[in-house]
Structure 1
Amino acid sequence: MTQKLIYYLLILFSFSFFLSCNKQEKTYDAKSNLESRYTKLLNYKPDSLGFPRSFSILKKEINKVPSKDWTSGFYAGNLWQIYELTNNPDYKELAKKWTAFIEKEKYNDKTHDMGFKVFSSFGQGLKQDQNNQEYKDIIVKSAQTLSSRYNDTVGSIRSWDFNKKKWSFPVIIDNMMNLELLFEATKISEDSLFHKIAVKHANTTLKNHFRKDNSCFHVLDYNPENGAIRMKVTHQGFSDDSAWSRGQSWAIYGFTMAYRYTKDEKYLNQAKATAAFFLNHKNLPEDGIPYWDFDAPNIPNEPRDVSAGAIVASALIELYTYTKDETYINYSKKFLKNVQTSNYILSSDIEAPFILNHSSGDWSKRSEMDEPIVYGDYYFLETLIRLKSQEKK
């Protein structure tokens, strides 16, 4: 073999090796990586006093909370949803254990977060076992407890009890999400009171929470004596006038869900209008995963909030079913693709019961910014399930 031939063969081999390596670098086994993350949840032992809420990658510490925390129900919900995706009964059994720890919250009238806690856990369980009377009873009792926070003069359910020196009757956009518990409680019990309260709360929110550009405020404070608006502010966003990303996602999801139960066109129109604000915003990155606030001052050098993207992605699949506007489902598909082909899924070597990285929590406290947070996983899994259902259809 001549030296010249050997030279050309070496070049050919090197080029082939380069192509092979380059192909390997671009190949990302999303299914395998997701399954490795699911296993982290399966291996996490049940703890009635320590629901995993978030994870500090720098400190390598799990932030654990009691059942009274607003995020406590999401972990059980994640297990229920992984069971639905995998049909592995081990997740179902573990979901039952974590769900049971939430039951005492059905009496907790100090919070509006009954839907987040109870419906994200017991509601997901009831989805898998539609004849579970125990779960039905817990949902109805929780709805009764939540209804005790309703003020007919304001026309809303009170959100928070803290910061009473500043607020008289605070109502946050997040509270729209808790209405699902009330709507379902009416379906279970045939007591229309829950449905009526949910509609009144949605109407008040629709009337007062939105700006002319269809973005929403985070917190409205009312005078409980006459229903007058005292202030429109933020608590977790950058400023009172900014568009806190997760707040926008709660609004899109909340009014899409309200339309599901009422078929009231004004709810559908608001969901579409705020979705347009979100999807067309000049500060929404190309990959569809928003910054934690659309008006954060240091964009593009600001943390993302994958949880806000996941909430919107899930909501827009449902919104697509009502409108057949492919803009919505295309965003959801893009979101899932980009999350699963980038660094948003935690590496398999991180021993923590979470799936996604880069959610952002409470900027006012500078806490849980750019970290894995349990509700980001919840709505990501819900997006997977909803898209899978659409593809079957």
Structure 2
Amino acid sequence: MKPDPSLTTNDLLPSLERFWAVSAQKIELLNREYDDSQGSPVFTVAGKYTTRGWTEWTQGFQYGSEILQFDATGDETFLEMGKRNTVKKMAPHITHFGVHDHGFNNVSTYGNLLRLMNEGRIPENEWERNFYVMALQASSAVQAKRWTDLPSGGYIYSFNGPHSLFADTIRSLRVLAVGHQLGHSIMGENDKKTSLLERLVQHAKTTADYAVYYGEGRDFYDTWGRTAHESIFNLNDGNYRCPNSQQGFSPFTTWTRGLAWIMVGAPEQLEFLKTIDDAELEPLGGRDAIEAFLVKMAKATCDFYIENTATDGIPYWDTGALNTHKLGEDVYQRESDPFNDAEPVDSSAAAIGAQGLLRLGKYLDDPKYTQAGLTVMKTLLSDKYLSLDPSHQGLILHSVYHRPNGWDHIPEGQSVPCGESCMWGDYHARETALYIQRLANDDPYYKFYL
């Protein structure tokens, strides 16, 4: 991609104002038209949100979007909407033992509400606060209980089972961080207590060691910043066996949404660790070592994104998919083309990755990453990707959910999925928009932790 070196957060404020107006219309439209009895909305088909039974991992994004809308605009209609839906519908997600998505569902709802109370944006209420705290404490322990021990540490396993580590889950570590800050831990047999911070650090280290490549010769396709969606382990002896991919093209290509989850998850944890005393980190390897592997992972993945993305900052769904060669050798020297006839772009990866680029740029004080993040967001806010059709329920166009399974809608006359939205793409576009808006207005820094 080609980051715009002159772009500033203030330059995006007019586009952000339009964005939040469109966002409000989409939230109201979805609440008016979507049938909740179907299950959680996942992605759009011909502009209408539909569900897809796999795991319930998107409902927190739906109601979290309502809370972010209030955060950005001050419109209390959306605050009441988000509160009401969180109380009424999110309880099953707190104790959902079958998913690795607690940071997605519960930090996006209960966590955002607690954050707003801490910021003084919503009135202090003791019992309301206790409700949010208890939900996050329980969610953090349930998430951390999905644990596979390894000789060198361990990881939170995916819904595929104890042998499976997903790249996605580093972004869900935020619930372990919040749980730890709230003084919580996991209690096991004989009252054995396990630290949530310990599990957070160990999972992040396992992700860094196995899900990310650094050009150090792990395999023939080892390139700086390439990622594997899934890492497989032998549970008999704890040894790593191979990379895999559930939603990408292959184990040896980079599914860009998996890449994006790591891009944002690693810098967020670096920010969070600033709140932790050195003494707490010493038995886990020490601050210097922990921060070193997180910085290496964050820089590698963000560098790979910049190197393997169209000039306007929007990636194709997988950097090595079957028909990528048909896009031409200059595919990353020109703007993204959502309507091509070879492979789809994935705007949801861009919405997630943009925030990672911005956070890493701020953490390192490195304009390389900051300017890249702003460039990505400028494109997402443009007419090319912002959903301006008032009848379309999605907010950001041209996302992809599961290309290998053929779940994504291909409009008549097109060869690849395009023109559709997804709940995680819409939510993360709102998160990134709020992040930039707060920086531009010199408001409190937008963070997930306490």
- Quote how far apart the aligned CAs of 1:93 are: 0.7
The amino acid that maps onto 1:120 is S
- 1:48/1:67 contact within 8 Å kept: no
**Corresponding position: 1:314 with 2:355:** yes
Q: Secondary structure at the match of 1:156?
A: strand
Partner of 1:258: 269
- 1:48/1:98 contact within 8 Å kept: no
- 2:60/2:105 contact within 8 Å kept: yes
- 1:51/1:72 contact within 8 Å kept: yes
Structure (1 or 2) with the greater helix fraction? 1
The amino acid that maps onto 1:160 is F
The amino acid that maps onto 2:111 is G
Partner of 2:406: 366
Q: Secondary structure at the match of 1:344?
A: coil
**Corresponding position: 1:376 with 2:407:** no
Partner of 1:102: 90
The amino acid that maps onto 2:315 is P
Partner of 1:183: 177
Instruction: Pick 1 or 2: higher relative contact order, CA cutoff 8 A, min separation 6.
Output: 2
**Bigger Cα displacement from structure 2, 381-390 vs 148-157:** 148-157
Partner of 2:380: 339
**Corresponding position: 1:279 with 2:306:** yes
Match for residue 391 of structure 2 among 310, 330, 350: 350
Q: Secondary structure at the match of 1:62?
A: strand
- Quote how far apart the aligned CAs of 1:170 are: 0.7
- 1:248/1:274 contact within 8 Å kept: yes
Q: Distance in 2 between matches of 1:93 and 1:143?
A: 25
- 1:114/1:178 contact within 8 Å kept: yes
- 2:212/2:297 contact within 8 Å kept: no
Q: Distance in 1 between matches of 2:211 and 2:359?
A: 22
Q: Distance in 2 between matches of 1:218 and 1:122?
A: 28
Q: Distance in 2 between matches of 1:184 and 1:190?
A: 9
**Corresponding position: 1:80 with 2:67:** yes
Match for residue 55 of structure 1 among 20, 40, 44: 44
Partner of 1:298: 323
Structure 2: gaps spanning 5 or more residues: 1-13, 119-123, 186-193, 216-223, 275-290, 328-341, 409-416, 443-450
Q: Distance in 2 between matches of 1:278 and 1:29?
A: 24
- Quote how far apart the aligned CAs of 1:152 are: 2.4
Q: Secondary structure at the match of 1:331?
A: helix
- Quote how far apart the aligned CAs of 1:84 are: 0.9
Q: Name which one, 1 or 2, has greater alpha-carbon Rg.
A: 1
In structure 2, relative to structure 1, the CA distance for the partners of 1:67 and 1:148 (3 Å cut) is same
- 1:111/1:161 contact within 8 Å kept: no
**Corresponding position: 1:64 with 2:67:** no
Q: How does 1:71-220 map to 2 (within 5 A)?
A: 71-100=58-87, 101-130=89-118, 132-153=129-150, 155-161=154-160, 169-189=163-183, 191=185, 193-211=195-213, 212=215, 213-220=224-231
- Quote how far apart the aligned CAs of 1:176 are: 0.7
Q: Distance in 1 between matches of 2:403 and 2:371?
A: 30
- 1:290/1:309 contact within 8 Å kept: yes
Give the TM-score taking structure 2 as reference length: 0.74
Q: Distance in 2 between matches of 1:71 and 1:143?
A: 18
Q: Distance in 2 between matches of 1:288 and 1:29?
A: 17
**Bigger Cα displacement from structure 2, 133-142 vs 315-324:** 315-324
- Quote how far apart the aligned CAs of 1:67 are: 11
Q: Secondary structure at the match of 2:106?
A: helix
- Quote how far apart the aligned CAs of 1:30 are: 6.7
Give the TM-score taking structure 1 as reference length: 0.84
Partner of 1:17: none
- 1:34/1:355 contact within 8 Å kept: no
In structure 2, relative to structure 1, the CA distance for the partners of 1:114 and 1:232 (3 Å cut) is same
Q: Secondary structure at the match of 2:242?
A: strand
Partner of 1:23: none
- Quote how far apart the aligned CAs of 1:64 are: 3.3
Q: Distance in 1 between matches of 2:138 and 2:234?
A: 28
CA RMSD across the alignment: 2.2
After superposition, what is the alpha-carbon deviation per residue over 1:211-266, rounded to whole angstroms, capped at 9, x for unaligned? 22221111111122321113211111111111111111111111112212235232
Partner of 2:21: 35
The amino acid that maps onto 2:405 is K
- 1:344/1:358 contact within 8 Å kept: yes
Q: Distance in 2 between matches of 1:205 and 1:145?
A: 20
Q: Secondary structure at the match of 1:171?
A: strand
Identical aligned pairs, as a percentage? 24
- 1:147/1:194 contact within 8 Å kept: yes
Q: Distance in 1 between matches of 2:98 and 2:311?
A: 41
Q: Distance in 1 between matches of 2:439 and 2:16?
A: 20
Write out the 4+ residue segments of structure 1 that deviate beyond 3 Å after TM superposition: 28-34, 45-50, 64-68
Q: Distance in 1 between matches of 2:148 and 2:179?
A: 19
Q: Secondary structure at the match of 1:302?
A: coil
